[in-house]
Amino acid sequence: MMGGVLAGMRVVESSAFVAVPLAGMTLAQMGADVIRFDLPTGGMDHQRWPITAQGKSLFWAGLNKGKRSIAINVKTPRGREIASEIICAPGEDAGLFITNLAVKGWTDHLSLAKKRTDICTVTLRGDRMGRPAVDYTVNPSVGFPDATGPVDGSEPVAHVLPAWDCIAGNMVVSGLLAAERHRLRRGHGQGVDLTLKDVAAAMLGNLGIIGDVAMNGESRAKAGNALYGAYGQDFLCRDGRRVMVIGLTVRQWRNLVKVTQTEGEMDRLARSLGVDLAEEGARWHARDQITKVLVPWFAARDLDMVASAFDAGGVTWSVFRNFREALAQDPDLSQQNPMFQSLHQPGIGRYLTPGSPFDFSDLARQDPRPAPVLGQHTEEILADVAGLPDSEIASLFDAGVVTQPGQAIRLAS
Please calculate the CA angle 207-210-214 and round it to the nearest 5 degrees. Answer: 140
Sign of CA dihedral 101, 102, 103, 107: positive
259 binds a copy of itself (CB under 8 A): no
Select the span of 69-77, 98-106, 132-140, 257-265 touching a copy of itself (CB under 8 A): 132-140
Known catalytic residue: 165?
yes
Query: Nearer Cβ to a copy of itself, position 311 or 384?
Result: 311
**Contacts of residue 31, Cβ cutoff 8 Å, sequence gap at least 6:** 1, 2, 3, 4, 5, 6, 7, 8, 9, 366
3-state secondary structure of 215: helix
- Binding to a copy of itself, residues 32-51 (CB under 8 A): 44, 47-51
Asked if the peptide bond before residue 50 counts as cis, ω within 30 degrees of 0, the response is yes
Dihedral angle over CA of 41, 44, 48, 51, nearest 10 = 0
Q: Which of 248, 269, 303, 373 binds a copy of itself (CB under 8 A)?
A: 248
Query: Nearer Cβ to a copy of itself, position 190 or 407?
Result: 190
| Least distance to a copy of itself, CB of residue 313, Å | 12
69 binds a copy of itself (CB under 8 A): no
What is the distance between the alpha carbons of residues 268 and 274, in angstroms, rounded to a whole number? 10
| Least distance to a copy of itself, CB of residue 86, Å | 22
Catalytic site residue from 38, 45, 165, 239:
165
- Binding to a copy of itself, residues 91-110 (CB under 8 A): 109
326 binds a copy of itself (CB under 8 A): yes
3-state secondary structure of 33: strand
Q: Which residue from 159, 86, 174, 88 is spatially nearest to 124, judged by alpha carbons? A: 174
- Binding to a copy of itself, residues 350-379 (CB under 8 A): 351-363
117 binds a copy of itself (CB under 8 A): no
What is the distance between the alpha carbons of residues 327 and 118, in angstroms, rounded to a whole number? 45
Q: Which of 36, 67, 116, 197 binds a copy of itself (CB under 8 A)?
A: 197
Which amino acid is present at 376? Q
Please calculate the CA angle 274-279-284 and round it to the nearest 5 degrees. Answer: 85
257 binds a copy of itself (CB under 8 A): no
| Least distance to a copy of itself, CB of residue 270, Å | 18
Q: Which of 85, 198, 265, 392 binds a copy of itself (CB under 8 A)?
A: 198
- Binding to a copy of itself, residues 269-308 (CB under 8 A): 279-281, 284
Dihedral angle over CA of 168, 96, 411, 41, nearest 10 = -30
CB of 291 closer than 8 Å to CB of 225? no
| Least distance to a copy of itself, CB of residue 3, Å | 11
Q: Which of 91, 140, 296, 389 binds a copy of itself (CB under 8 A)?
A: 140
What is the distance between the alpha carbons of residues 411 and 285, in angstroms, rounded to a whole number? 70
Site string for a copy of itself, 210-239 (x = CB under 8 A): xxxxxxxxxxx---xx-xxxx-x-x-----
333 binds a copy of itself (CB under 8 A): yes
| Least distance to a copy of itself, CB of residue 398, Å | 29
Residues known to be catalytic: 165
